[in-house]
Structure 1
C-alpha cells in the first residue's frame, strides 16, 4: 500500500477529534492530505469535488447523518473510496447496519493511537475491520435486537474452524468486500456455486446475512 500520494476525508463535528485523525493519517499512515468536514452533506460535496479520495472516515453523530445506513449512498456513488465508520458507539446494531451498507470498517473512537492506526491500515490494505466486541455475546441482554439469536451453541472459533477450505476462501473474499460475482471470478466458479457456499457459511456460522458473516470473518480469520 502506497499512501504518500493519497488523500483522505474525515467527517466529524468534533474538531479536536478531526485534528487527531489528521495527525494519525498523515504522520502514521503517510497520507499526503486530509480534507476535514463537519457534516455528512459537507463530506458528500467534497467527495463529489475530489475524485481521488482514497479513504473516508465518518462519525455517526453529526449533522446530516441519520445512521450507519446513510453510508450506502457514499459506497454507491464513490466506489473507489474506502469508507469506514469511526464512532463512539459500540452498539452491534450500528456495526451490522454499517457493514450491511457496505462500509469497509467500523472503528471505535476509544482505541489507542496504535490500535487505531492498525485498524485504518487494515482497511486500506483491503480488509474489513470490526471491533472484537462484535462477537462477544454473553447473554440475551447483550443482544436486544435479536440479530445474533440464531447463533449455534458451539463457540465462534469452533464454527470458523469447521469451515471447509473452500468456505474459508469464500469468507475471506467476503470480508474483503467482494460481491458474489467477484468471488466467483476470483475462484473461477459459477455464481450459483458461490450462492451454495454462502448458504453453507450462513448455516455453519449461525448467521442470516452477509454483514454478520463478514463481522465474524473479520474478527476470526
Structure 2
C-alpha cells in the first residue's frame, strides 16, 4: 500500500490533491501537513513514503529551501513541487534542485493523475516549458550545496533568522536557551562560509523565489 505525503497550507487544494491521488491509487495511505514544521515532522515520521507533493509557498519555508533540505535528508523520497507560480524559470529551478516533478495548480485532475503516476513509475514530470527554461545559476547551486550541510535544527534556526526573529525569539520557538541558539548560529556561519548573520541570510536567500526581495535580519550581537 503506497504512502503519499501532501504538504500545502490551503485546505481546498489539499482536498483536490487527495481526490487526484485517490482516483489513481484508491488504496494509498495519505498524510498531510499545512506548514513547514508539520511538514518536517511528517517526513521524519514517514521516511519511506513513496511520494511527497510539496507546495512551493509553505508557511515557514522560503522558496526552494525546504526542497533542498529534504532532498539532503531523504534522498530516496521523490518530491513533486506544486504551485500557482507557473513561470518556466521557477519550474526549472525546482527541477534543478532535485524535484522529480512540478505540477501547476491550474492543472486539471487528469493532469494531476498523470504526473503522480509518472513520478511513482520513476519518471520526471513537468510542463514542456520548464525543460526549455534557463538552468539555475551557479551561485544558486552553490547556496543549495552549503544548505545541505546543515543539521535539521540548524536549518530551522536559519529559517527563523531569515524570517526576522532574534536569538531570544528563536530560542523560545525551539524551546532551547539563547546560548544554544548562538552555538547553532556559529555552526551555521561556518558551514555557509558566512562572516555574519546578514551574509548567512543573503546566501540562503539565493533560493528564494525572488532573491532581490530578501529582508535582512535585525542587528544583534553574534
TM, length-normalised to structure 1: 0.57
Distance 1:15 1:98 in 2: 23
Report the CA distance shift for 1:94/1:31 in structure 2 as closer, same or farther (over 3 A).
Answer: farther
1:57 is paired with a residue whose SS is strand
- Residue number in structure 1 paired with 2:79: 83
1:68 corresponds, among 44, 56, 64, to: 64
Report the CA distance shift for 1:110/1:51 in structure 2 as closer, same or farther (over 3 A).
Answer: same
2:85 is paired with a residue whose SS is coil
2:91 corresponds, among 83, 95, 101, to: 95
Cα distance, 1:31 vs. partner? 4.5
- Residue number in structure 2 paired with 1:44: 40
Report the CA distance shift for 1:129/1:88 in structure 2 as closer, same or farther (over 3 A).
Answer: same
Q: Does 1:15 align with 2:43?
A: no
Q: Residue by residue, what CA displacement relative to the aligned partner does 1:7-28 show, whole Å, maximum 9, x if unpaired?
A: 1111111001101111211232
In structure 2, stretches of 5+ residues that fail to align are 136-222
- Residue number in structure 1 paired with 2:102: 106
1:28 corresponds, among 21, 24, 44, to: 24
2:127 corresponds, among 124, 131, 143, to: 131
Report the CA distance shift for 1:111/1:104 in structure 2 as closer, same or farther (over 3 A).
Answer: same
In structure 1, stretches of 5+ residues that fail to align are 138-146, 149-221
Whether the aligned pair in 2 keeps the contact of 1:11 and 1:38 (CA below 8 Å) is yes
TM, length-normalised to structure 2: 0.56
Segments of 4+ in structure 1 off by > 3 A?
none
Distance 2:132 2:39 in 1: 33
Distance 1:13 1:133 in 2: 26
Whether the aligned pair in 1 keeps the contact of 2:92 and 2:131 (CA below 8 Å) is no
1:139-158 correspondence to structure 2 within 5 Å: 147=134
RMSD: 1.8
Distance 1:100 1:136 in 2: 12
Distance 1:29 1:99 in 2: 24
Cα distance, 1:112 vs. partner? 1.1
Q: Residue by residue, what CA displacement relative to the aligned partner does 1:60-80 show, whole Å, maximum 9, x if unpaired?
A: 122022112430111111122
Equivalent pairs, count = 135
Cα distance, 1:113 vs. partner? 0.6
